[in-house]
Structure 1
Amino acid sequence: MSMLLEVSGVSVSFDGFKAINNLSFNIGSSELRAIIGPNGAGKTTFMDIVTGKTRPDEGRVIWGEKSVSLLKMSEAQIAQSGVGRKFQKPTVFEDQTVQENLLVSLKNPRGWLSVLTYRPTAEDLGRVDALAEEIGLNDQLTRLAGELSHGQKQWLEIGMLLAQEPRLLLVDEPAAGMTVTERQHTTDILVEAAKTRAVVVVEHDMEFVRRLNCKVTVLHEGSVLAEGSLDHVTANQDVIDVYLGR
């Protein structure tokens, strides 16, 4: 499997506090990875660095087959090159239908003129139907997004990101506030998405991580403490001491 993202020797400090400390991390082009760790371990800062929101003090962040540096790109350029990010709180257009939310997210020319004159083609509508099927909202296409449950809004936002055809999807605590059934469906969506792209899930819910059945990276004080299967990392005494024992 070819490497899609390679983070090497990255550090960043805020007011003297080292949020990320000599962090190295890589992920393949179609791989599912969970990142766990205590609060303040650097999970959000890691995502901020990959998406260009935060610039590290040192280190490299290399992207894609051509090994380009993400550190030389703006946030918009990074997004356009195929990095998508989902925050904890779902951000959908509440007064638009599910179908309209997905249509507006499709990867199409984004000049101001094309946005003003945009009319969905049969191909666009077909793509939206396929996305709605993938996220389990195919029977909700005409509903306003504001009427959806919390879990359904999360799925819609994942669908909106998938509509942009990212090569890497960063997902922040998708299971928070969900019912057991919703969490199971979210697992299915992410496992399916990772068949054709890299998906990184930051999560605290260990049952959710177990169901993802993927390699786990444990962060602590801004660097990797352990890596491997969930059973492997949860048996690690250092991980028990700093995270699981709490």
Structure 2
Amino acid sequence: MSDLLEVSGISKSFDGFKAINNLSFSIAEAELRAIIGPNGAGKTTFMDIVTGKTRPDEGQVRWGETSRSLLKMSEAQIAREGIGRKFQRPTVFEDQSVADNLTMALKAPRGAFSVLVWKAGKASRARVEELAAEVGLAEQLHRKAGELSHGQKQWLEIGMLLAQEPRLLLVDEPAAGMTLAEREQTTTLLKRLAETRAVVVVEHDMEFVRRLNCKVTVLHQGAVLAEGSLDHVSANSDVIEVYLGR
């Protein structure tokens, strides 16, 4: 399977602090990957660089079959290329219905005039229903987003990202604040999504990562400390030292 995203030798400093230090790794086309590491390990900066929010001081970020450089693209261009990012706190339009949130997120013409005249047709409504079913919100379409539970808001936001038809989803701590049942449903959802696209989950919660049952990349001081299954990296003496301070 070919690589969809390749990060090679990227470094980034903020006021003398090296947040990313010669970081290199790759993500395959249809892969579920967990990225873990203590606070300050560089997880957020890595996502900022991939999505164009932050530019690295050195290194390359290559994308797709033709290995195009993401560093030459704006945030909007990167999003159009098919990279979606879900932040830790769900950002949904609370006063709008679930259906309206998903409709607004659909991949449609975005010019000033086309936005004014665009109306959801039969195909758009069918797509909204499909997305709602995919994220477990089929029964909630007419409810206001503000009435949803925390977990359901997280799923709605994932649905809004899916509406953009991404090839890579970056998901930041999806399990935070969820009930046990919601966490289990989220695990199932992320695993299923990774069958057809790349899904990168940045997470602190080891139990949640264990449920994902995927390859794990451990970051420390902005570089890859270990990589492999959770059992493999958990047995690594360097990882034990970083996490447990031994």
The verdict on a shared fold, with TM-score over 0.5 as the criterion, is yes
Q: Relative to 1, partners in 2 of residues 1:244 and 1:157: Cα closer, same or farther, differing over 3 Å? A: farther
Corresponding position of 2:80: 80
C-alpha separation in 1, matches of 2:117 and 2:193: 31
Query: Please, what TM-score do these two structures have when normalized by structure 2?
Result: 0.98
User: How big is each residue's C-alpha offset from its partner over 1:16-74, in whole Å with a ceiling of 9 and x where there is no partner?
Assistant: 00000000010011000000000000000000000000100000000001110000001
Aligned ranges 1:177-192 → 2 under 5 Å: 177-192=177-192
Matching residue of 1:155: 155
| Greater Cα shift, 100-109 or 216-225 | 100-109
Q: Does 1:239 align with 2:239?
A: yes
Deviation for aligned residue 1:223: 0.2
Q: Distance between the aligned counterparts of 2:229 and 2:49, measured in 1?
A: 25
CA deviations over 1:133-167 (Å, ceiling 9, x no partner): 11100000000001111110000000000110011
Paired residue type of 1:197 = R
Aligned counterparts of 2:210 and 2:148: Cα–Cα separation in 1: 27
| Kept after mapping to 2: 8 A contact 1:234/1:244 | no
CA change 1:245–1:186 in 2 (3 A) is: farther
Amino acid at match of 2:213: N
1:125 aligns with 2:125: yes
* 2:27 corresponding residue in structure 1: 27
Output the CA distance in 2 between the equivalents of 1:54 and 1:183: 30
1:106 aligned onto 2:106: yes
Q: Normalising by structure 1, what TM-score?
A: 0.98
**Deviation of residue 244 (structure 1)?**
4.3
For 2:21, the aligned partner's letter is: N
Q: CA shift at 1:208, angstroms?
A: 0.6
1:51 maps to which residue? 51
Match of residue 15 from structure 1: 15
**Divergent runs of 4+, >3 A:** none
Question: Quick one: which amino acid aligns to residue 50 of structure 1?
Answer: V
Instruction: State percent identity of aligned pairs.
Output: 77
CA RMSD of aligned residues (A): 0.9
CA-CA distance at 1:119 after TM superposition: 1.0
Distance 1:17 1:87 in 2: 24
The runs of 5 or more residues in structure 2 that have no matched partner are none
One-letter amino acid of the structure 2 residue matched with residue 188 of structure 1: T
Q: Is the 8 A contact 1:226 1:233 kept in 2?
A: yes
Partner of 2:62: 62
Contact 1:105–1:161, Cα closer than 8 Å, also in 2: yes
Rounded Cα–Cα distance in structure 2 between residues aligned with 1:224 and 1:183: 27
Q: State the alpha-carbon separation in 1 of the partners of residues 33 and 121 from structure 2.
A: 35
